[in-house]
């Protein structure tokens, strides 16, 4: 079986999760990783998070895992990466920094057939894909793609599940989110007042693009949805706090519980339902995009329903590979560059 050849730019937490998932699969090969970090330190970080029994060896500029070898490149600019040399089917940009068309175009100009963002885009691109929601919109012509975000996927799946069974007048969400690598450990002057405060010491109100994009993917929620985020002193594991104003006054919390159980049975790879009294650390290692908390559903008054759902970045990394697999099954875009030479050894 011909493997799907991927390039990864950005070897942070998501990038390393993508590598672990690919190395445990027979479908993928990571041809090249681009990051400004020292390759030996990157290998060390990868090993500290590795599944039991995994071994990683760095020889020269190549990282080996027993299934494939990955060329390690040092760069922080998409325009500097010669993707055509590595014959990749798709590049996943996991830096969280390059969400504009001009940056994505640099990947394409350098030989990538398609580029998939691990975050939401900052410009109009060909497609934002949320697995289980708008997969059927994928086109062979797509070259600039986003796989959304962990929060966007969780929000979209929750809203889709409820809207299929009950009319929703409006909705608001709060993402109670683990702090991220772009936040400061100590108070440090940055571009935003609140995000200049210490991540492990504060609950930090933050903005999120999730409602903006979900309204476009689920147009029934246009002008009905808003929300924000709270970055909290937790390293991993996040929570979706969703409030729904229902048109049906008779829809109960018990009805919501049955709905969530049904959604988890309909899309078991994407949605789960937890009946135990779980906390954020219990969701670590969950590869689903949304884990409904069945014990946390409440109703206020006649029409306002609150539901909670857990998620972590592993679910998002899993969805990114699924999107990559779907695009790899399509024809190469008509204007993609042809494959050229493949490097060997330790050549630059």
User: Are residues 60 and 15 part of one domain?
Assistant: yes
Could you give the number of structural domains in the chain? Answer: 2
Contact 316, 94 (CB under 8 A): no
Cα distances (angstroms) measured from residue 102 to each of 75, 113, 244: 17, 15, 38
Is 54 inside a domain boundary? yes
How far is residue 242's CA from residue 253's CA, in Å, rounded to a whole number?
Answer: 13
Q: What is the pLDDT of residue 334?
A: 57
Is residue 263 helix, strand or coil?
Answer: helix
Task: List Cβ<8 Å contacts ≥24 apart for 278-285.
Answer: 278/310, 280/178, 280/234, 280/236, 280/237, 280/238, 280/239, 280/310, 281/236, 281/237, 282/237, 282/310, 283/237, 283/310, 283/311, 283/312, 284/236, 284/237, 284/312, 284/314, 285/312, 285/314
User: Are residues 192 and 83 part of one domain?
Assistant: no
User: Are residues 219 and 91 part of one domain?
Assistant: no
Is 192 inside a domain boundary? yes
pTM: 0.92
Cα distances (angstroms) measured from residue 220 to each of 63, 120, 214: 47, 20, 10
User: Are residues 155 and 99 part of one domain?
Assistant: no
**Percentages (nearest 5) of helix, strand, coil residues in the chain:** 30, 25, 45
Smallest Cα–Cα separation from 163: which of 245, 261, 249? 245
Is 272 inside a domain boundary? yes
223: left (phi over 0), alpha (psi -120 to 50) or beta: left
User: Are residues 160 and 99 part of one domain?
Assistant: no
And the tokens for 219? 């147009």
Q: What is the pLDDT of residue 347?
A: 26
Residue 84 CA from chain centroid, whole number: 25
Q: What are phi and psi of 154, to 5 degrees?
A: -65, -45
User: Are residues 277 and 217 part of one domain?
Assistant: yes
Radius of gyration of the chain (CA): 21
Q: Is 255 exposed, middle or buried (0-12, 13-18, 19+ CB in 10 A)?
A: middle
CA dihedral of residues 81, 87, 89, 95 (deg, nearest 10): -20
User: Are residues 212 and 85 part of one domain?
Assistant: no
User: Are residues 164 and 15 part of one domain?
Assistant: no
How far is residue 309's CA from residue 239's CA, in Å, rounded to a whole number?
Answer: 6
User: Are residues 311 and 229 part of one domain?
Assistant: yes
Q: What is the pLDDT of residue 86?
A: 95
User: Are residues 217 and 92 part of one domain?
Assistant: no
Range of the domain at 181: 150-315
How far is residue 219's CA from residue 199's CA, in Å, rounded to a whole number?
Answer: 35
Sign (positive or negative) of CA dihedral 327, 153, 117, 14: negative
Q: What is the pLDDT of residue 190?
A: 86
CATH number of the domain where residue 43 is located: 3.40.50.720
Provide block-wise average pLDDT over 10 residues at a time, the chain (348 residues). Answer: 93 96 95 97 93 87 95 96 95 95 96 96 94 94 97 98 97 96 90 92 95 96 97 96 97 97 98 97 96 96 97 97 95 55 28
CATH number of the domain where residue 158 is located: 3.30.360.10
Count of CB atoms situated within 10 Å of the CB of 179? 22
Smallest Cα–Cα separation from 95: which of 76, 80, 79? 76
């Amino acid at each position: 079986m011909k493997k799907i050849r991927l390039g990864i730019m950005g070897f942070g937490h998501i990038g390393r999760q993508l590598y672990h998932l690919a190395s445990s699969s027979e479908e993928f090969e990571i041809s090249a990783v681009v990051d400004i970090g020292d390759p030996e330190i990157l290998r060390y970080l990868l090993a500290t998070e590795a599944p039991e029994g995994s071994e990683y060896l760095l020889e020269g500029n190549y990282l080996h895992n027993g299934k494939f070898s990955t060329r390690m490149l040092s760069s922080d600019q998409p325009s500097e990466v010669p993707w055509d040399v590595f014959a990749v089917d798709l590049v996943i940009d996991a830096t969280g920094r390059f969400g504009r068309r001009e940056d994505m175009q640099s990947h394409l100009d350098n030989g990538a057939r398609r580029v998939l963002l691990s975050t939401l885009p900052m410009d109009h691109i060909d497609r934002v894909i949320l697995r289980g929601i708008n997969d059927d919109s994928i086109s062979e012509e797509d070259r600039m793609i986003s796989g959304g975000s962990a929060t966007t996927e969780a929000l979209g799946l929750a809203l889709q599940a409820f809207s299929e069974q009950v009319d929703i007048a409006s909705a608001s969400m709060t993402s109670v989110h683990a702090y991220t690598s772009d936040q400061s450990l100590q108070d440090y002057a940055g571009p935003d007042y609140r995000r200049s405060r210490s991540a492990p010491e504060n609950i930090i109100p933050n903005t999120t693009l999730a409602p903006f994009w979900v309204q476009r993917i689920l147009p029934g929620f246009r002008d009905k949805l808003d929300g924000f985020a709270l970055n909290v002193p937790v390293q991993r594991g996040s929570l979706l706090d969703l409030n729904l104003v229902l048109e049906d006054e008779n829809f109960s919390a018990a009805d919501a519980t049955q709905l969530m159980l049904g959604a988890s049975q309909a899309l078991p790879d994407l949605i789960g339902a937890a009946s135990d009294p779980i906390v954020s650390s219990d969701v670590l290692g969950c590869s689903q995009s949304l884990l409904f908390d069945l014990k946390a559903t409440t109703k206020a008054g006649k029409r306002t329903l609150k539901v909670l759902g857990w998620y972590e970045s592993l679910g998002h990394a899993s969805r990114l590979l699924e999107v990559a697999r779907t695009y790899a099954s399509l024809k190469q875009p008509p204007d993609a560059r042809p494959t050229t030479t493949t490097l060997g050894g330790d050549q630059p």
